[in-house]
Amino acid sequence: MLIATDIGNSSITIGYFTGTGLIVQRITSHPLQNEEEYRQLMNGFIKENNIEKSRCNGIISSVVSSHTNVFRKILEGLSGEGKAEVLVIDHRRSGLGFKIKAPEELGTDRIANAVAAFSLSGKPTAVIDFGTATTITLVDEEGDYAGGAIMPGIGLMNETLSRRTSKLPKVELRQPETALGKDTVGCILSGLFIGTAGAVERLVSDMEKETGLRCEIILTGGYSSLVDRSIQRPHAIRPHLTLEGLKIIYEKNRHQ
């Protein structure tokens, strides 16, 4: 079994790739818990889902450095048959080509997304990840990382509006009924979802003009299902794209 761990700013997503498929566990990233607390959470989940862990290895993508070594130690000791092999990815161990200035600064979740996207489509692809931040990752026709964009995520904008204004509430996140809001909540939902959808589609369109590419679109991330109906271009939703990419990267490194 392979345990793929994606440590993000808001949540930790753990994918257990078993012989029968993928089982996903989510844990909040903050506050940081200690090694034993995380181990108990994982062992409890493994037991509840009847996951066999006699032989397992791990791979980690992390954008929260304080969490990385904690989970490396947990995964190394989780196997029932000695110390597990655990790979912590960076741009040098991804098998991905880069056409950007500083690949070492790139979030490893975006690297995993790029690897998975090109593996799935074999074509130029824009991955739109609706997480804490909304990111666009563009993979070109050669399967190389060509660049992207970053903007505030839907949850972050919702929290900031309520915290930095005197009369705007933090709203329950749901799909807006119309673009034309008829009350304060409706206006906020329209801006958050339809506004974000319009922004990412404009960005992808401009990227295509700059590169001469026509891209497939893949949505992922925690808010992707809520934004789905607001995206006008044809697209696919892959909620576990990052985990899929981590599995591909692990297999590439194992066979090197």
The one catalytic residue in 109, 183, 206, 228 is 109
Q: Tell which phi-psi region holds residue 28, choosing left (phi > 0), alpha (psi between -120 and 50) or beta.
A: beta
- Closest-CA residue to 247 (of 21, 1, 51, 4): 4
Q: Residue 9 and residue 62: Cα distance in Å, rounded? A: 9
Report whether 132 contacts 221 (CB < 8 A). Answer: no
CA angle 76, 81, 87 (to 5 degrees): 30
Residue 109 annotated as catalytic: yes
State whether residue 117 is helix, strand or coil.
helix
- Closest-CA residue to 89 (of 112, 66, 65): 112
The residues that are catalytic are: 109
